[in-house]
Amino acid sequence: MEPNNGRSSGGPNKRTIEILQQMATYYDRVGDNWRTLAYRKAVNALDKQKELVATKNQACKIYGIGSRLADKIEEIVSTDRLQRLESVSSDPNDKALQIFMGIYGAGLTQAKLWMDQGYRTLEDLRDKATLTPNQQIGLDHYDDLQQRIPRAEVKMHGDVVQKALLRVNKDLEAVVGGSYRRGMPDSGDIDVMIMHPTAELAQLQAWVFDVVIPYLFEIGFLKCALATSHTSKKQARTTPAKSQRQEETTPGENSIEPISPLATGSDGGSKFHGASCLPDSTVWRRIDLLLVPACSRGAAMIYFTGNDIFNRSIRLLASRKGMRLNQHGLYKNVLRGPGRVKQTEGELVEGRDEKKIFEILGVPWREPEERRC
Ligand code: DCP
Ligand code: MG
Ligand code: MN
C-alpha cells in the first residue's frame, strides 16, 4: 500500500488536479453540492492515475469522471488553464460573496443577504452591519479560522483535551478523528471523539458538559462555543456553513439520510463546536468535540473519520443491503417506503467495532488514510 496523505501526490496530473480542486472549492463555497462532489470525485480519480491524462477520451475511461469533466481536463492540459475558473474568480461580486462565506458561521444565504444590503468588504461588515455574536467572532478571527491547522498543532489540541479528561476519569479517551486520522498534513479543524470503555451517553454528558468543558474554558483553552447540540436550539441555530451544506442531499443520492452533525434527537446533545487556543499561542482554531458512547464507538469512528464522500458511499452501500449506517451504529431490517425513505429504525447489528461494521457490510477493511471516496 502506498502511503498517501490524501493530498495530491504531485503525480503526472498535478496541475489538472490543482485547477479542478479550485473549482471544487468554488462550488463548495457557493453551495453547489452536486458539482462539488463531481469535482472532488474527479480529483480523487485523477490522483490515482500513474500517467498524464491529456485527452477527453482518456479521461472518460476513468471511473468517476463524466464527459463534461473530461472536456475540462482536456482544456486544462492543452491550454494550462480553465476559462470557467478564470471567469468565476474575476467576478468582483463573486469575490465578495466568497469572502463573506469565509466568515465562520456565515453560509451562502447570509453572504447574499449582506451583498443585498450593499456590503462588499469585511470592513463594511465591521463598520455597518449588525452581526450576531458568533458572526462577530467569525469576523474578529477571520484570518485564524481560515487557515489550515498543521498536523502537529492538531495533535497538541487533542492532548490538551486528553489531559483535561484524565482529571475526571482515568479511562476517558480523546481520539482525534477527521482529516487528522486520515493522515492529512493539515486540517480545517480539530475533530475530537471523547470515549470511555464502558460509559454511555448520559455519563459522558455529565463529565464533559458539566466538568471538562467548563474547565477548558477556565484555563483559557476553549474560547467560545460556536454551536453545540447541548445548548438551547436558539444558540445551535447559528449553523456553520459546513453543516448547512450537510443538510442538503445530492441528486441521485437521496436514498440516504443527510448527514446532520447537529442532529440530537432526544439524547440531550453529543456535540460541541467551538474555538480553542494553545497556551502559548494567540491563534484561535475551530474545534469539534463528539461524545461517543461505548456502544457506538466503531460507528462513530467511521463517521468522524470520513471523509464525507467515503461516508456517503458506505452509507449508500448499507442502504442498498437493506441496512442503515449512521454515527450510532449499523442497523438491519430497516423498513423503507417509497423513495427509500426510512420508516423504522431497525435493529442494531453492530456499533462497537469499526472493523466488524466493514465485515458485515462486506467491504474490505480500509485504513483511515485510504478513506477518500
Ligand atoms: N462528515 C460527514 N459528512 C459531512 C461532514 C462531515 O460524514 N458532510 C464527517 C466526516 C468528516 C468528519 O465528519 O471526516 C469531520 O468533519 P469535518 O468537516 O471536520 O471534515 P474533515 O475533518 O474530514 O476535514 P477538515 O480538514 O476540512 O476538517
Ligand atoms: Mg475536520
Ligand atoms: Mn469538524
Q: What is the DSSP string of 310-337?
A: HHHHHHHHHHHTT-EE-SS-EEES--B-
Cβ-contact 161, 193 below 8 angstroms: no
| Burial grade of 23 (CB within 10 A; 0-12, 13-18, 19 or more) | buried
> Is the confidence metric ipTM above 0.95 for this complex?
yes
Q: Where are the alpha helices (DSSP H) in the chain?
A: 14-29, 33-47, 56-60, 67-79, 83-90, 92-101, 108-116, 122-128, 133-140, 142-146, 151-166, 178-181, 201-207, 213-218, 233-236, 241-246, 297-305, 308-320, 354-361
- Residue linked to cell 423504522: 344
Cβ-contact 192, 270 below 8 angstroms: no
Stretch 71-91: mean pLDDT? 90
- 156-207 pLDDT tens trace: 999 999 999 999 999 999 999 999 999 999 999 999 999 999 999 999 999 9
User: Half-sphere exposure (CA, 13 Å, Cβ side) for 109?
Assistant: 8
- Please list, residue by residue across 69-78, b when 16 or more beta carbons sit within 10 angstroms of its beta carbon and e when fewer do: bbebbbbbbe
- Residue linked to cell 453572504: 111
Of residues 255 and 344, the one with the higher pLDDT is 344
311 lines ligand 1 (CB under 6 A): yes
Residue 312 Cα: closest atom of ligand 1: 7
Stretch 120-141: mean pLDDT? 93
Q: Which of 311, 325, 366 to mutate to test the pocket of ligand 1 (most atoms within 8 A of CB)?
A: 311
Lowest mean pLDDT segment, chosen from 47-61, 85-99, 314-328: 85-99
How far is the centre of ligand 2, averaged over its atoms, from the C-alpha of 307 (Å)? 9
Whose Cα sits closest to atom 27 in ligand 1? 188
Stretch 280-290: mean pLDDT? 96
242 lines ligand 1 (CB under 6 A): yes
DSSP letters of 265-305? TTS---EEEEEE--TT----EEEEEEEE-GGGHHHHHHHHH
Residue 222, φ and ψ in degrees, nearest 5: -80, 135
Q: Quick check: 358 pLDDT over 70? A: yes
How far is the centre of ligand 2, averaged over its atoms, from the C-alpha of 189 (Å)? 4
253 lines ligand 1 (CB under 6 A): no
Q: Quick check: 266 pLDDT over 90? A: no
Under DSSP, the state recorded for 345 is -
Under DSSP, the state recorded for 250 is -
| Burial grade of 347 (CB within 10 A; 0-12, 13-18, 19 or more) | exposed
Q: How far is CA 244 from the centre of its chain?
A: 11
Q: How far is CA 215 from the centre of its chain?
A: 27
Mean pLDDT of the chain: 86
72 belongs to the catalytic site:
yes
User: Half-sphere exposure (CA, 13 Å, Cβ side) for 338?
Assistant: 0
Q: How far is CA 354 from the centre of its chain?
A: 19
- 297-329 pLDDT tens trace: 999 999 999 999 899 999 999 999 989 999 999
Distance CA 62, CA 111 (A): 37
Under DSSP, the state recorded for 3 is -
pLDDT at residue 345 in the model: 76
Q: Quick check: 36 pLDDT over 70? A: yes
Distance CA 34, CA 256 (A): 15
Q: Quick check: 353 pLDDT over 60? A: yes
178 lines ligand 1 (CB under 6 A): yes
How far is the centre of ligand 3, averaged over its atoms, from the C-alpha of 191 (Å)? 5
Distant-in-sequence, close-in-space partners of 224: CB < 8 Å, separation ≥ 6:
134, 137, 274, 275
Distant-in-sequence, close-in-space partners of 200: CB < 8 Å, separation ≥ 6:
293, 294, 295
pTM: 0.77
42 lines ligand 1 (CB under 6 A): no
Stretch 230-248: mean pLDDT? 35
Q: Which of 182, 192, 307 to mutate to test the pocket of ligand 1 (most atoms within 8 A of CB)?
A: 307
Q: Which of 48, 56, 61, 72 is catalytic?
A: 72
140 lines ligand 1 (CB under 6 A): no
